Structure 1
Amino acid sequence: MAQSPSSSVQAAREALAERLKNIRLDAGLKAREVAARAGWYPSKASRLENATTPPSDADIRAWCTICGVPDEAPDLIAASRSAQSAYVEWKRLQRTGLRRLQESYVPLYERTRAFRVYCSNVVPGLLQTPGYATALLSAITDFRQTPNDVAEAVAARVDRARILRHGDHRFAILVEEAVLRQRLGDAEVMAGQLGHLLSVMSLRSVSLGVVPFTADRRMWPLETFSIYDTAQVQVETLTAAVNVTAPSEIAQYVKAFEWLSDSAVYGASARTLVTDAIGALG
């Protein structure tokens, strides 16, 4: 089984910490000596080397200067920033509410030509109706206790979805059948959302597949993820957004998407699953 995104990020942090340790060893210094020369508490050097404390840019510059290799600082700083941006907690991204986060995706969406989106738990954001988005973002706001700007965030999310009909973009979207059955909002909201999925299926730019409960699958259900061209993957966990940029890891998500696609149904078969879900609302 593939390494989890959070484990991958931790591995990057540990690799950086190991590089700092090797620089110190090559300089013939003890950790406490580095800490003393930098004016830190004695334990800080050990925390940096054990990846329990992420280094700041200033920490890395001081470390490299003390160890006699100041020219290595820029590369280490770049590696550190990459590791820190790869795993960003939602509470940090949403500390001022949800609207700004919705708007922050616009540049990424505009420059992406090929979207591959897999959702195992909710309707993908680009396909959400205002009612469904309101129910979902309200639940997120309540759970994370963020400032309530749900109305503004919903408007930003709906506005962002215009990209489905404008520009040179292609969208390959997969959802698990459970997404059609799990209610967010009341029956009227869900009926409106499922009806919207039927209309979206007619768009030339969109391929919408559903992985049925009964699929003979070789890929197990995964966490929600989006692949932007072949440059970046964003994985959504309960606590954080994980941005994957390593080519080898992106390749794994592309492969997983292809395997999930093989288990999905499309066209009339997918429409039947959606209409059945509407019928089950009562």
Structure 2
Amino acid sequence: MTDYQMARASLGARLRELRVEARLSGRALAEALGWPPSKVSRLELGRQTASVEDLEAWSVACGVPGAAVELSAQRRALETHYTSWRRQLAAGTRARQAASKSLEDRTRRFRIFETSCVPGLLQTPDYARHVLRHVIDFHRSPDDLEAGVRVRMERRRIIDEPGRVFDILVWEPALRTALAPPAVMAEQMDHIADVIQRGVVGVSVLPIAARVSVVPAHGFWMFDEGRVLIETTGAELSLTDDDAIAPYRKAFAELSRSAVRGAAALRIVARARQGFISAREG
């Protein structure tokens, strides 16, 4: 059972508690609400997510209208799916990469902001190999490194598919963070420069010295208008409620206004590359 399913089951259990405390059978509650009995059953078993209106009506029918506030708070928590990396990586990096690919295949517009590493869709095989090695070692997940790299490279192909829009924004420190040896980092900078020059996807760089109106606290990925993913050290957050997504939509627009593109972005990438070349030669 996923964290989301567990949260929905917990909400259903609370609904059942309210009904039992009101001494109502499932059928009696359904009649009072004008619902089919099956809906009451699905909500209590966590097989269906109640709407805000459902929760308000349920509370009133059970004689505790004030409970709607508590229930609505529980429902809002459902919109933030919190999944630990331990659980995400239990089957290895390949399965995790495949899950990402599935979501990406369903998405038409991507807005990606990265603060600490090169976005996965722009990674070279060697860079991805070092990043995934860090992930495997840190979380002590099954070591299927090469399989994970293969799927990550398969994910990259999506940027050449027609009918998709990519706005990829990278904070300058992400280009300079040495997650791999200097030669690998230099090759990674070459690849980013090539993507910018080809113009297949929109890639912009947020200079470290840029004046910003939003603190670039962490990276996030927006998939169309319906989902935002945020990676933390211990877990991945998946936001699907529009109220939760709206700040990220605004933050991306604000940060994009401070970013540079084209030749200016290439100059930043070139400086980062030169830094790795100098490190290798030193």
| Structure-1-length-normalised TM-score | 0.76
Q: Which amino acid aligns with 1:79?
A: T
Question: Does residue 244 of the first structure (1) align with residue 239 of the second (2)?
Answer: yes
Q: 1:176-191 alignment to 2 at 5 Å?
A: 176-191=171-186
Counterpart residue number, 2:49: 79
1:57 aligned partner = none
Q: 1:170 to 1:104 in 2, by over 3 A?
A: same
What aligned pairs does 1:201-240 form with structure 2 within 5 A after superposition? 201-240=196-235
Following the alignment from structure 2 to structure 1, what is the Cα–Cα distance between the partners of residues 163 and 83?
A: 30
Deviation at 1:83, TM superposition (A): 2.6
Report what 2:194 is aligned to. 199
Alpha-carbon shift at residue 216 of structure 1 (Å): 0.7
Q: Distance in 2 between matches of 1:16 and 1:189?
A: 51
Structure 2: any 5+ residue segments left out of the alignment?
Answer: 31-36, 51-74
Write the deviation string for residues 132-156 of structure 1: whole angstroms up to 9, x where unpaired: 1011100000000011111110111
Secondary structure, aligned partner of 1:220: coil
Partners of 1:233 and 1:243 within 8 A in 2:
yes
Tell me how far 1:205 sits from its aligned partner: 3.4
Q: TM-score, normalised to structure 2's length?
A: 0.76
The CA deviation string for residues 66-118 of structure 1, in whole angstroms up to 9 with x for no partner, is 99666424235133999398111111111121001111222321221110001
Aligned letter for 2:97?
Q
Partner of 1:108: 103
Which amino acid letter does the alignment assign opposite residue 26 of structure 1? A
Partner Cα separation in structure 1 for residue 81 and residue 162 of structure 2: 28
Equivalent runs, 1:1-282 vs 2, <5 Å: 19=15, 22-27=18-23, 71-75=39-43, 77=46, 78-79=48-49, 83=78, 86-281=81-276, 282=278
CA distance in 1, matches of 2:9, 2:79: 8
Maintained 8 Å contact 2:80/2:240: no
CA shift for structure 1 position 217: 0.5
Separation in 2 of the partners of 1:272 and 1:147?
A: 39
Cα offset, 1:190, TM superposition: 0.4
The CA deviation at 1:26 is: 3.3
Q: 1:222/1:18 Cα in 2 relative to 1: closer, same or farther (>3 Å)?
A: farther
Matched AA of 1:165 = D
**Change beyond 3 A, Cα 1:150–1:85:** farther
Contact kept? 1:27, 1:68, Cα under 8 Å: no
- Counterpart amino acid of residue 239 in structure 1: G
Q: Are residues 116 and 13 of structure 1, via their aligned partners in 2, closer, same or farther at CA, if it must alter by over 3 Å?
A: farther
Please give the alpha-carbon distance, in whole angstroms, between the structure 1 residues aligned to 2:103 and 2:189: 27
RMSD over aligned CA atoms reads 3.0
Contact 2:169 2:256 in 1 (8 A): yes
Of 78-87 and 116-125, deviating more is 78-87
Change (3 A) 1:21 1:212: farther
The 8 Å contact of residues 80 and 239 in structure 2, kept in 1 or not, is answered as: no
Give the SS at the match of 1:112.
coil
Question: How far does the alpha carbon of each residue in 1:221-259 deviate from its partner, in whole angstroms, 9 at most, with x for none?
Answer: 132211111121111111112111111222221111111
Q: What number of residue pairs does the alignment pair up?
A: 240
Q: Percent identity?
A: 33
